[in-house]
Amino acid sequence: MNISLCLFVIIFIYVVQLGDVWSCGVTLSVMLVGAYPFEDPKNFRKTINRIMVVQYKIPNYVHITPD
């Protein structure tokens, strides 16, 4: 197998796994809060920007313990 093809496959698998972890976090957020963590229904570009800079808020009614 070509080395560049092996590297591509390894990177692709790694990126897919990161995407799976990220999507699990978004799903958990929707289950707990009832809304997407980055959603701005009026401005799609703003939503993408919030995702890229990891800008989100946890609502006051969601209680997070240090445990």
pLDDT digits (tens, 9 = 90+) for 19-52: 677 778 888 888 888 877 777 768 888 878 887 8
Which residue do the tokens 């790694």 mark?
Answer: 14
User: Is residue 8 in a domain?
Assistant: no
User: Is residue 41 in a domain?
Assistant: yes
Domain count, the chain: 1
Helix (H, G, I), strand (E, B) or coil at 65: coil
Number of H-type helices and E-type strands within the chain: 2, 0
> b vs e for 6-42, b when ≥16 Cβ sit within 10 Å of the residue's Cβ?
eeeeeeeeeeeeeeeeeeeeeeebeeeeeebbbeeee
pTM of the predicted structure, to 2 decimals: 0.50
pLDDT for residue 5 = 67
User: Is residue 64 in a domain?
Assistant: no
pLDDT for residue 46 = 83
Evaluate if residue 55 carries a pLDDT over 80: no
pLDDT band at 60 (very low <50, low <70, confident <90, very high): confident
